[in-house]
Structure 1
Amino acid sequence: MSDPGLILLGGLPGTGKSTVAAPVARELRAAYLRIDRIEQTLADSGELPERPLAVGYLVGYALARDQLDLGVTVVAECVNPLKITRDAWKNVGDRHGGWTLEVELVCSLPAEHRARVENRTVDIPGLVLPTWQQVVDREYETWDRDHLVIDTAVTSAAETVELVLRHARALSG
């Protein structure tokens, strides 16, 4: 890839963000920023009175800026449930990278989505995964601008990775 950019993978828990983000980052030799990892590390430090809410995203934005300024493409993976967080990521990409690819992963089959949420294994020590009810009840605002939407109920993980890579390569020149 010629120009560095920001690939933002968002979506509710259980839609496949981690499954897609790691191979995309590996293929592009990009920095991989996983907000769950940042937030769990902050919580594990013992320096915060409660589990972090916004600070994980703020750290992610700062790390993404640093990598983009160095000419390194960034794959950022997080639920990204609010317009304010999406706008903040887009601002980082627009100001510090050559391009930004916003991707929302969805799972259109509720039974499949629920099964994924209820059968996931923890891959970050200490991380408590949300229950299905917490996923259903989570605040998640509708996206208000064009972005790539991939339904992982009908698109395999490998196909999703390829779609993201194809769009990123088209944007990078």
Structure 2
Amino acid sequence: MTKLINGGFFRKQEESLMKTCFNTGNSEVIIDIKNRVSRLLQAVLPDEHILVEVAFNEAINNAISVSEAVEVEITKDEKYVKLIVKDNGKGFDVESSLQEIEVKGEKLMDEILWSESGRGLYLMKKVMDKVEYNKKGNQVTLFKQIGGSKREYEH
């Protein structure tokens, strides 16, 4: 039985908090979605909602800038809130971007502090407990622990 539990046969029950898809040309809808997410994060993560909202806004702004349609899904289980942002754009080279963040670390922020773009991936990685990308680079999944500080994400 322990093997079944540890092997992932029994998964944590996720509760869907929000799921929506929108066209990026409609600024009123985008503002409404950001406001809904803000209120939701305040309710679920009262002590950390501002930083998580910054990470979410970076993800959604990146998606809006490169695509015509964006999907947003937010779920939670007993330990984590999960925010998924997926766009219909061509994606980006996830591996090289993440490698640059790993190699340069804090120095990267000094380099991009005043640039128009480039801070989003770094900020998401610093704020969230875990950040995952799909292979194509057009979907990001952000994980944040409920009621605690940043620590290693557990499946």
Q: TM-score range by the shorter chain?
A: under 0.3
TM-score (norm 1): 0.25
TM-score (norm 2): 0.27
Higher relative contact order (CA 8 A, sep 6+): 1
Select the structure that is richer in helix: 1
User: Who wins on radius of gyration, i.e. which is larger?
Assistant: 2
Select the structure that is richer in strand: 2
